[in-house]
């Protein structure tokens, strides 16, 4: 169900079962929503950089009291007007995209329960989340000027999550991000040389190798041969599927089950939950003749119980990664986690 928040932002509810009343109104006295992101380009690399100085004042909150993503209670309205919800998606109040920059930023809340995590949600909710991602991908792909729809979750303060409530985000970029531009270039070269899809080739090779972490009939989760991060898993369909919106309902359920298993394996790596970043690299809105195969990426910057990988000069300035963990050993560790 679609609605509008008090400042004009759009909110969409996705429920595990149909028939819920989601008509509650946002009663907060908010001023009209006016995104202020600015897109600049680095003249040396050509890379786009979003300047979003207004985000310095955005909400930082880890406790239930004052959480802007919990359902609204009488006297304490939040971003979600409903008294409870399953999955809620709304435009980010402090976006880096939109306005002059173009594109759009959305927030995806995975549960009305503050202390939940995606890895522990029941199968029905995982499917609802997958359905919400797919539906938003289709909607954002249709927005004028959008070139790439990037779905992601930062989980844990150590990797930049400013709110503890289980939630992710979607960035609809009005350009191809540097990583996607590189993948597109490689996919084009592979197609020219071999006449086939680079991702199909890569997934088939990994599926028979020593770095598989888990798999289903249609999807494979593996540590990539040249993983950049101490623990990193890619999840991909075995054959070409461009984005989450192109999956059939049963395929969404299958993929989300595998995804949650990967998250549980990450969370079980150490004695306390592992902070992680999880994202979906979906095929670009255009150029699908060259690249029409999405993949997920789950990774952590944590390399041992008390050590984190920092992005130092080589990674941050030169873009040249050094991984201290052997990818084959990382796969073995992830497979060994009891879930
Ligand atoms: Zn909350
Ligand atoms: Zn393919």
Q: Are residues 158 and 187 in the same domain?
A: no
Instruction: Kindly report which listed range (80-84, 168-172, 302-306, 321-325) carries the lowest average pLDDT score.
Output: 302-306
23 within 8 A of 13, measured Cβ to Cβ? no
Give the structural domain span for 218.
179-336
Average pLDDT over residues 167-190: 97
Q: Are residues 271 and 166 in the same domain?
A: no
Would the pLDDT of 24 be above 70?
yes
Could you tell me the distance, in angstroms and rounded to a whole number, from the CA of residue 163 to the centre of ligand 1?
Answer: 8
Could you tell me the distance, in angstroms and rounded to a whole number, from the CA of residue 295 to the centre of ligand 2?
Answer: 10
Ligand nearest to the CA of residue 116, numbered in listed order: 1
**pLDDT class of 337 with cuts at 50, 70, 90:** very high
Could you tell me the distance, in angstroms and rounded to a whole number, from the CA of residue 218 to the centre of ligand 1?
Answer: 35
Would the pLDDT of 36 be above 90?
no
Please report the pLDDT score of residue 1 as a whole number.
81
Could you tell me the distance, in angstroms and rounded to a whole number, from the CA of residue 108 to the centre of ligand 2?
Answer: 28
Q: Which residues pair with 169 in a beta bridge?
A: 107, 152
Q: What rounded mean pLDDT belongs to the chain?
A: 94
Average pLDDT over residues 237-250: 98
Q: Are residues 223 and 293 in the same domain?
A: yes
Q: Which of 156, 152, 155 is nearest to 96 (CA)?
A: 152
Most confidently modeled range among 228-242, 262-276, 306-320 = 228-242
Q: Are residues 156 and 190 in the same domain?
A: no
Ligand nearest to the CA of residue 70, numbered in listed order: 1
Q: Are residues 215 and 173 in the same domain?
A: no
- Provide the phi-psi class of 208: left if phi over 0, else alpha when psi is between -120 and 50, else beta: alpha
Q: Are residues 187 and 330 in the same domain?
A: yes
Could you tell me the distance, in angstroms and rounded to a whole number, from the CA of residue 197 to the centre of ligand 2?
Answer: 5
Could you tell me the distance, in angstroms and rounded to a whole number, from the CA of residue 107 to the centre of ligand 1?
Answer: 13
Would the pLDDT of 273 be above 90?
no
- Choose the final residue of a domain: 144, 177, 210: 177
With residues binned 3-state (H G I as helix, E B as strand, rest as coil), the percentages for the chain, rounded to 5, are 30, 25, 50
Would the pLDDT of 56 be above 70?
no
To the nearest whole percent, how much of the chain has pLDDT over 90? 86
Could you tell me the distance, in angstroms and rounded to a whole number, from the CA of residue 111 to the centre of ligand 1?
Answer: 9
Q: Which residues are catalytic?
A: 167
Ligand nearest to the CA of residue 63, numbered in listed order: 1
Q: Are residues 154 and 184 in the same domain?
A: no
Q: Are residues 319 and 257 in the same domain?
A: yes
Could you tell me the distance, in angstroms and rounded to a whole number, from the CA of residue 76 to the centre of ligand 1?
Answer: 12
Average pLDDT over residues 190-202: 98
Instruction: Report the Cα 297 to chain-centroid distance in Å.
Output: 9
Could you tell me the distance, in angstroms and rounded to a whole number, from the CA of residue 166 to the centre of ligand 1?
Answer: 8
Count of structural domains within the chain: 2
Q: Are residues 256 and 116 in the same domain?
A: no
Question: What are the tens digits of pLDDT across the range 289-329?
Answer: 999 999 999 999 998 888 998 889 999 999 999 999 999 99
3-state secondary structure of 138: helix
Ligand nearest to the CA of residue 194, numbered in listed order: 2
Q: Which of 133, 144, 81 is nearest to 107 (CA)?
A: 133
> Within a 10 A sphere around the Cβ of 257, how many other Cβ atoms?
16
Q: Are residues 307 and 219 in the same domain?
A: yes
Question: What is the CATH classification number for the domain harbouring 152?
Answer: 3.30.428.10
Average pLDDT over residues 72-84: 94
Please report the pLDDT score of residue 62 as a whole number.
63
User: DSSP code of 306?
Assistant: T
Phi, psi of 264 (to 5 degrees): -65, -35
> Within a 10 A sphere around the Cβ of 218, how many other Cβ atoms?
17
- Choose the final residue of a domain: 148, 177, 206: 177
Average pLDDT over residues 4-16: 97
Question: What are the tens digits of pLDDT across the range 204-225?
Answer: 999 999 999 999 999 999 999 9
Could you tell me the distance, in angstroms and rounded to a whole number, from the CA of residue 153 to the centre of ligand 2?
Answer: 24
213 within 8 A of 231, measured Cβ to Cβ? no
Q: Are residues 106 and 122 in the same domain?
A: yes
Integer CA distances (angstroms), 83 to 21, 161, 164, 302, in order: 10, 24, 19, 37
Burial letters 25-42, b for 16+ CB under 10 A, else e: ebeeeeeebebbbebeee
- Choose the final residue of a domain: 122, 147, 177: 177
Q: Are residues 160 and 45 in the same domain?
A: yes
Please report the pLDDT score of residue 302 as a whole number.
93
Ligand nearest to the CA of residue 242, numbered in listed order: 2
Ligand nearest to the CA of residue 295, numbered in listed order: 2
């Amino acid at each position: 169900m679609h609605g509008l928040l008090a400042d004009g932002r759009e909110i969409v509810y996705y429920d595990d079962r149909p028939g819920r009343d989601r008509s509650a109104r946002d009663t907060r006295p908010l001023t009209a929503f006016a995104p202020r992101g600015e897109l600049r380009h680095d003249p040396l690399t050509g890379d786009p950089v979003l300047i979003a100085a207004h985000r310095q004042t955005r909400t930082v909150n880890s406790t239930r009291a004052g959480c802007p993503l919990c359902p609204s209670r009488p006297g304490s309205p939040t971003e979600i007007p409903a008294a409870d919800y399953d999955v809620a998606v709304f435009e980010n109040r402090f976006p880096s995209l939109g306005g002059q920059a173009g594109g759009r930023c959305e927030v995806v809340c995975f549960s009305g329960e503050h202390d939940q995590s995606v890895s522990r949600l029941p199968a029905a909710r995982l499917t609802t989340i997958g359905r919400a991602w797919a539906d938003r991908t289709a909607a954002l792909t249709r927005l004028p000027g959008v070139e790439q729809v990037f779905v992601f979750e930062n989980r844990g303060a150590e990797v930049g999550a400013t709110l503890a409530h289980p939630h992710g985000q979607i960035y609809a970029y009005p350009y191809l991000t540097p990583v996607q531009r590189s993948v597109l270039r490689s996919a084009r070269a592979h197609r020219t040389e071999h006449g086939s899809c680079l991702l199909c080739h890569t997934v088939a090779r990994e599926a028979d190798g020593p770095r598989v972490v888990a798999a289903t009939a249609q999807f494979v989760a593996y540590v990539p041969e040249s993983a950049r991060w101490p623990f990193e898993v890619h999840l991909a369909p075995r054959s070409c599927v461009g984005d989450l919106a192109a999956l059939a309902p049963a395929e969404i359920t299958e993929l989300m089950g595998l995804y949650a298993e990967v998250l549980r394996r990450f969370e079980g790596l150490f004695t306390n939950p592992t902070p992680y970043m999880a994202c979906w690299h979906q095929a670009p809105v255009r150029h699908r003749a060259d690249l029409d195969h999405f993949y997920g990426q789950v990774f952590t910057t944590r390399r041992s119980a008390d050590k984190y990988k920092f992005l130092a000069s080589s990674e941050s300035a030169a873009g040249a990664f050094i991984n201290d963990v052997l990818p084959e050993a990382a796969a073995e560790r992830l497979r060994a986690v009891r879930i």
